[in-house]
Amino acid sequence: MMRLVVDLNRCQGYAQCAFLAPDVFAMHGEESLVYNPQAEREQRERVARAVAACPVQAITADGLDGFAGGTSDAAH
């Protein structure tokens, strides 16, 4: 499992994560993001893309070591 944290104060609802990893992230209404904080390992590549694509860098993910743009340091 990967541990995900989204800074919901930083999140602006661009929904790039929901497009790239729809099994992990989803928009609830126009501006509210919901997500699974314990994503399955099978979602690693999609989650790594979502972390990298977030325009406000609101997503932190532990367990993406070795994926380009997917380290937890990239989200800070």
User: What is the model's pTM?
Assistant: 0.81
Is the predicted pLDDT of residue 4 greater than 90, yes or no? Answer: yes
Tokens coding 41: 């390992």
CATH value at residue 14: 3.30.70.20
pLDDT at 73: 42
More confident residue, 63 or 66: 63
Looking up tokens 């325009």, which residue turns up? Answer: 55
Count the domains in the chain: 1
Domain that holds residue 24: 2-75
pLDDT at 67: 63
Q: What is the pLDDT of residues 31-47, one digit of tens each?
A: 799 999 999 989 999 99
Write out the E strands in 1-76: 2-6, 25-28, 32-35, 38-39, 59-62
